[in-house]
Amino acid sequence: MEFRRTMKGRKALVAVAITTGMFLTVAGCGGGSDDKSEGGTTTSSTPSKANNGEDAKDTESQSPIPEQVLAEVKGGDLTLKVTSATRDEGGFVTVEGTVTNIGSRSWVAADWRGDERELEKNGGSVAGASLVDPTGKKKYLVLRDTEGRCLCTRFTGALVSGKSSDWFAQFPAPPEGTTNVDFQVGSMPPASIEISEGE
pLDDT at 171 > cutoff 90: yes
Residue 122 burial by CB count (10 A; 0-12/13-18/19+): exposed, middle or buried? Answer: buried
Structural domain boundaries, residue 142: 71-197
> Looking at residue 147, which CATH number applies to its domain?
2.60.40.10
Closest residue by Cα to residue 183 from 76, 77, 82: 82
Note the pLDDT tens digit of each residue in 40-67.
Answer: 444 444 444 445 555 545 545 565 566 6
- Is residue 167 a part of any domain in this protein? yes
- Is residue 163 a part of any domain in this protein? yes
- Is residue 120 a part of any domain in this protein? yes
Q: Residue 102 contacts by C-beta under 8 Å, 6 or more apart in sequence?
A: 74, 77, 78, 79, 161, 162
Confidence class of residue 115 from pLDDT cuts 50, 70 and 90?
A: confident
